[in-house]
Structure formats: structure tokens, C-alpha cells
Structure 1
Amino acid sequence: MTASLRFAEAAALQDMATYIARARKIQEQGIRLQAVGPVLAAWVPVMTPGSLVSRLPAVLGLRTAALEAPQEVDATVELGAVTERLARLGPSETQLPLPPSQLTVPWAAVTPPRSGWQPYAEIADDALRDCAEAGIAEIAKAVPDTAGAAVVEQVREEVWGRTMGALPAPEAEQGSAAAESLPGLPAGAAFGAHALNFLAAAGADGRSTIHRQGPWWRLSSTGGFILARPAPSRL
């Protein structure tokens, strides 16, 4: 495994440190650092189904950064280990030493498609933020302090697994049977964009674009990308 990643500029490495700090507030399941050529893709799990029968959508956060030169890296490592290395670096540093040990976690094997994405719609960042905050409040209200893990998971599945509402279908599919059967963007995607601070500031009229490829949805916002796949429908 490549011993380190060399970023194109110090600001890109500092931005990655901020991204990792936000990801640690959500989970401690690691980060996948995937470099193909001169671009680094940093993946983090926002939420992933814990079993085959879970109704929780798969939601991944993605932040990209330019590297100084092409590299080939695909390593899933602990967030804490990366944080420790970042803490030792000065503000002008551009090289990030990678932890020597890797994680083997199911979410890292979930790879959204790289191509074939079709434009679907746009949505206001404020609408995404409102959806995320409403879901957080609903979960806090529904889950008592003494609730067990199974109860918490059930509530999270109910809140984040629902769609954000009827999104407008692409013009090419307006009025077609295919358009009527299209599912909406999982509310968990809104939570991811909000929690990772990908959205424009409240009231700034920011907008995010939505693309779709098969069962996957991609939310492209000012600060990064959210990839979401709804749980399969039950028969």
C-alpha cells in the first residue's frame, strides 16, 4: 500500500481534516481513501443497513481532492488513526502518511456506479436541511433514553428510509409508467448532506442537483456528494 498521499496544496489537506472531523461525529466505521490518477475520493458511511432485512438506506458521503501527482490507492482505515496523523502536521504540509493497518468493513465493498448517471432534478439546500432537521427531531422525540438498539434502529429505518416526497420526473419520462414508479430520494441523503456540512448556508439560496443511475441516487451539493441507495422493496 502507498505509504502516504501527497495533496496538490495544503488547503486541500486541511479541508480533508475538516471533513474527517465531521464524519467522526456521525460514525467511527472508517474512511475509504481511493485514488485513481491525480484525484482522491474520500468515502465515509453516513448510514448503512445492518442486515439483509434492514429498511435503512445505504448512504455514503464523498469528498474529492486534487493530488500533486497520479497515485493508485484504495485503503479503508480508521478515522481516529487518520486524525492522529493530521494532528501532527503543520499548516503548510501537503503529505498525509497513511495508517499501516486497514479495516475490513462491509460498507467499503458498496461501490456506487462511476458512470451512466442521468440528470433528474434540482432541490433547494434549505429543503434538504429542513428535512434533515425534522428527521433528527422526530427520532429524538420517538426514542426514549432507555431504548434498546433494536428500537433505535427501527425508528431510524422509518425516518431515514422514507422518501423526501414526489420529486419531479425527468421531462423525457413525464406521464410515463416509468415516471410513476420512480422512488424518491431517501430522507437519509438529506441527513448526510446536512451532517457533513455539504449544503450552502441557510438562506443563501443554495441548490443541489440530483442524478440517478439504477437504484442509486447522487446528490451533488456545494461541499460534496451524497450517494444513496434505498432499501429494496419487500415483497
Structure 2
Amino acid sequence: MTVLHLADETEAADLAAFLSRLLHYDRSAAVRLQAAGTALAVFGRPPSFEVLAIRAVRLAKPYEDGLDVTLDVTVSAGELLEAVDEAAATAGVPDAVTGPPWAGLLPPRSGWQPEGGLPGADALRSLVSAAVAEFRSRTEELAAERRTRAELDAIGRDIWSRTVGETGLPVRAVHAAQSLGFLRPGGGAALLSAGAWLRLRTPYGSVAVRRAGLGSFGLSVR
């Protein structure tokens, strides 16, 4: 098994935490790994949020056990989590799996430009809290016979598809960032754009989404 040497125990712990959160939303989650130089990018797609989540991990050794120039493979998130050794700051790369459609369709690597209008991280967390409270309030007000999956989904779409100010970033992207541990107290947040993509970036990870949503997958293969 190819072994990746991570920069330190903290990087290993953060990777394990990210994988655990993805698995919370999808027990059969897959992740795409791309390593080049001393950086490992881990891509996942928590289904509840319809976004791409990206966790960057620093590597101590870029290549190990036959890794050629780059590593680019889709693997089971659960198997990767089991192969993370936090004390040794290593991660074994599991066998490749047949990835879901999104794994072959990633945001561009370059060309990102800063976008204005994004509130600060504290305001973003408050926005998510207010949205969650509104969802609970509206669903609790429903009569028992109307509390169907379709009705709950409709309320969710109404709330989470709203945009953050004039940015075009859907609130669900901010919710995803917070739920995945990217939007932490004391950490900043920035909004970037590249073509049809928007990216909410924090020191702990990024969430990328197409302006019209990910459902169409009208993307370029990477």
C-alpha cells in the first residue's frame, strides 16, 4: 500500500476529522485524492449540501513506495480513514474504487479571483444558525398530515438556496462549511470565483459550488 507521510500529527488529525464528517453524511462516501509536490487535496461531496468540499493537507514526503510524479485516485473515505495513523502522521492509500460522477468533474485549479461582499466568519456562522432555527420553526408549524418528506424538502430548498447578500453564494455552501469544520471561530473566510464556480475558502478547507448548482454537472473533466 502506498503510504503518504503527512507534515505532522495535526494534519493527520484534521484529515481524519474531515473524513469522519463526510462519512457522517454518507457511510459509503468516496473521496478523490490529488497529490503534487508537498500538497494533498482531498475532495468529497456530502450529499445533503450539494457542494464539493476540499481539504488541503500538507505532506512531509510527496512521493512514497512507487508514487511517480503525482497521485490522482478515487478511494473509499472509510478505508482511507482506517488507514490514517495520527501518531505516525501517515495515511495509507487504499485501492482505487469506481468513483461517483462528481469525482471526475472538479473545479479549476487556477484562475480564481477574489469576490467582494462576503460577511465575516462570525456573521456567516450567525447566518447559518438563523437558517437552522427558521427551518425548525417552519417544520414544527406544519400540521401532522403535511409533515411529509416532500414538504420538508421544499422548506429546505427555500431556505438553503438563498444567497449570502449579493454574492450569489448559496446559504447551503456556508452551512456545509460549518458542518464540515471549516468555519471555525477565529478563522477568516474569503469568496473566490472562477468561471461558473464560487469557492468559499477558509484556513481549514474550502467549499465549491457552481452558481447554478451542481446538479447539472455541466463541468470540464479534470
Q: Secondary structure at the match of 2:51?
A: strand
Q: RMSD value over aligned CA atoms?
A: 2.6
CA displacement at 1:66 relative to structure 2 = 1.7
Per-residue deviation, residues 161-180 of structure 1 (Å, max 9, x unmatched)? 2211224xxxxxxxxxxxxx
Q: 1:70 to 1:210 in 2, by over 3 A?
A: same
1:179 — aligned with what?
none
1:222 aligns with 2:220: no
1:107 — aligned with what?
102
1:63 aligns with 2:67: no
1:192 aligns with 2:176: yes
Once residues 101 and 108 of structure 1 are traced to their aligned partners in structure 2, the CA distance between those partners, rounded to angstroms, is 12
- Whether the 8 Å contact between 1:30 and 1:78 is mirrored in structure 2 is yes
Once residues 152 and 39 of structure 2 are traced to their aligned partners in structure 1, the CA distance between those partners, rounded to angstroms, is 38
2:25 — aligned with what?
26
1:175 — aligned with what?
none
Q: 1:22 to 1:58 in 2, by over 3 A?
A: closer
Once residues 179 and 190 of structure 2 are traced to their aligned partners in structure 1, the CA distance between those partners, rounded to angstroms, is 18
Percent identity over the alignment is 31
Q: 1:25 to 1:136 in 2, by over 3 A?
A: farther
Q: 1:166 to 1:81 in 2, by over 3 A?
A: same
AA at the equivalent of 2:100: V
Q: Secondary structure at the match of 1:123?
A: coil
- Whether the 8 Å contact between 1:161 and 1:230 is mirrored in structure 2 is no
Q: How many residues align?
A: 200
CA displacement at 1:22 relative to structure 2 = 2.3
Q: Secondary structure at the match of 1:99?
A: coil
Per-residue deviation, residues 165-217 of structure 1 (Å, max 9, x unmatched)? 224xxxxxxxxxxxxxxxx111111111111121231xx4x431111112211
Per-residue deviation, residues 86-126 of structure 1 (Å, max 9, x unmatched)? 3xx3x431321122241420221231111111111242112
Tell me the TM-score normalized by structure 2: 0.77
Once residues 80 and 39 of structure 1 are traced to their aligned partners in structure 2, the CA distance between those partners, rounded to angstroms, is 21
CA displacement at 1:27 relative to structure 2 = 3.1
- Whether the 8 Å contact between 1:47 and 1:60 is mirrored in structure 2 is no
- Whether the 8 Å contact between 2:39 and 2:57 is mirrored in structure 1 is yes
2:4 — aligned with what?
5
Q: Secondary structure at the match of 1:25?
A: helix
Alignment of 1:49-88 (within 5 A): 58-71=50-63, 72-86=70-84
Q: Which runs of 5+ in 2 are unaligned?
A: 64-69, 214-222
AA at the equivalent of 2:11: A
Once residues 97 and 175 of structure 2 are traced to their aligned partners in structure 1, the CA distance between those partners, rounded to angstroms, is 27
Q: Which runs of 5+ in 1 are unaligned?
A: 49-56, 168-183
CA displacement at 1:58 relative to structure 2 = 4.1
1:161 — aligned with what?
161
Q: Secondary structure at the match of 1:83?
A: helix
